[in-house]
Structure 1
């Protein structure tokens, strides 16, 4: 299989840190107030017929500014809830300004962003015009940190789609870390992007992401064979995938990402009606206030408000949320339903994990690798050696991302060229 070398500097970590620094500097000068823009775009039609509600159908499109090179288009497209009922979601398609040199039709990579938050203002497609979006009314800060990953593909002539996920920007609650809904949103974004570009339906597809995005990419990899068998998926890169939700929230607990437990509970509560009364009974006033607050926050806001809290402070029993899940059958089922690794991916997958990761536990990444291998999947694991840095702050998790984007992109680009 011919290797296409990603156009990226050799000293990835140094460049990545420089990119972060320049992004922050640029944000200080160019931060915009994008949240009120195109508000009507995110409201789906009141009624759609059966044909218009099929997965992957484009509902509407809109040219938009972007810090990425190429032609950016905001899209609304149809995808599916976990029960496969139709729902609209949004995202961004970026058509690169350079040709694809690998032969055949231009490939498409669908990128699942890492955790943005749960408020509508956090949707990546609302924040593509600048590195940072600020909503003064909500005192909210949204980060656009998918650019480095997207650039690796755009600079090689690969079309990029960045998803918002279900309920992010569009009506309803964002179902954070919901296996089926994140996977379906990724898969249907690929279908929609091919339609937008008038590309062949069998043009090569790849899935990529880190953290929440790694979980979304991994879910798409194992769901696409049954859900969208017509797609020509060549490879997936899933960095720090959130494959075992119980392990993940236990890792969140007490760290900078503690409030993200609230994102999980809010999302599950809207899909599992039995959970509402349970949470109402088991959460104390502080816990209920936390759920209400984080539903309208971006991840920076949530970290500032609830970082380093212990979840036992939010329950009537004094149990941690993880322990509460384990002793409550309805909660346990909802969490178990989100476990990735129950189906075999139909195309090769590169997993990445760091033993010192202080947000996404490495053990559940390794377990996903073992489960997929046992099912006969073509899966490889890349173990990152980033040492513990300010444990609990998310620093190790963040710093483990940039150096692995290049091997991840090379993995997918090589599959496209094969």
Structure 2
């Protein structure tokens, strides 16, 4: 019986693998098999290539290698692997992610650029060996490039941006976060020649000043996303230019920009009605009504550590922002149950609101949880260090929203002085309810 079973198993294996005359190869035309293979990931394609000579040819056909992401496959690849991929894929390759591939350098990417001239999306995030030479190669051979991720490629300088501006005129999205050598000169060269830019990620580019923002505002009318986190030298002057010139802006991050004041909030409200995500630094005064009143498409608002925010802002959000999905009010110590009451009765509460963060809001009580129980889309609520929230209040909320994720701290009461005159210390307990 065992031999018979083994024979049947071997027979099936031969039918589907070892013989190029297998039934599946006879019944399905090459074009259909190629179509099936086009849905497979890198690992599966490599396995199929080992089945038979015929499947090897089909699996390694360039048409199946239009999108390659090596991040989850192998991160310690050497440059020769990239060169081999480029020779195999040639003009078919459209998207390639080499994120985190530390062994890939300029030489391999030059070969890649020469062979894969139709590349549209390329991620080199964390490829720390590459220099300006890679961008020179991309500029020379890859005119169709639209998305380029160079985050954490710390050797990149203004020369890279100038090269891209000369040969990659279709560029729509560029990430040069943590490329700290980039200055306003590189930004100026880039935006003057790449008018189609829709996304700029400049996080950690600490040398950028207002002059760079003025170039962006003057030449990027289609800009949708701008990340300036920790660009510590920029001020209201540069950001106001962005608001006036980039009226299609939907996402703006200026967290860690300590020189920004409330003036930018008014400029956003007046000029950027499509704003969906705003992450701001703590303001000096509560002047957010212009943003909430005019940005009706706002989906995510991060007000963490904006200690002057009051219930007035929540009233405006509840009235004017029907699409609000995520709201962070952590460390907004003036927020009360009344503000949450207005939020819970607003148009966003019933269909859109998914996340509310109320960490370290000392005036919030169980009454706020009662106001939020009608928010049927609410998926998560953060209540760390909300000392007036009780387990009973959370339990009542769960009866209405059984699937909600609640994160809360419940600190044990500090005991009285011990007999020895010392005071015992207890750690707070993090509870997922």
TM-score, structure 2 as length reference: 0.26
Task: Decide which structure has the larger Cα Rg and report it.
Answer: 2
TM-score, structure 1 as length reference: 0.27
- More strand per residue: 1 or 2? 1
| Larger RCO, structure (CA 8 Å, separation 6 or more) | 1
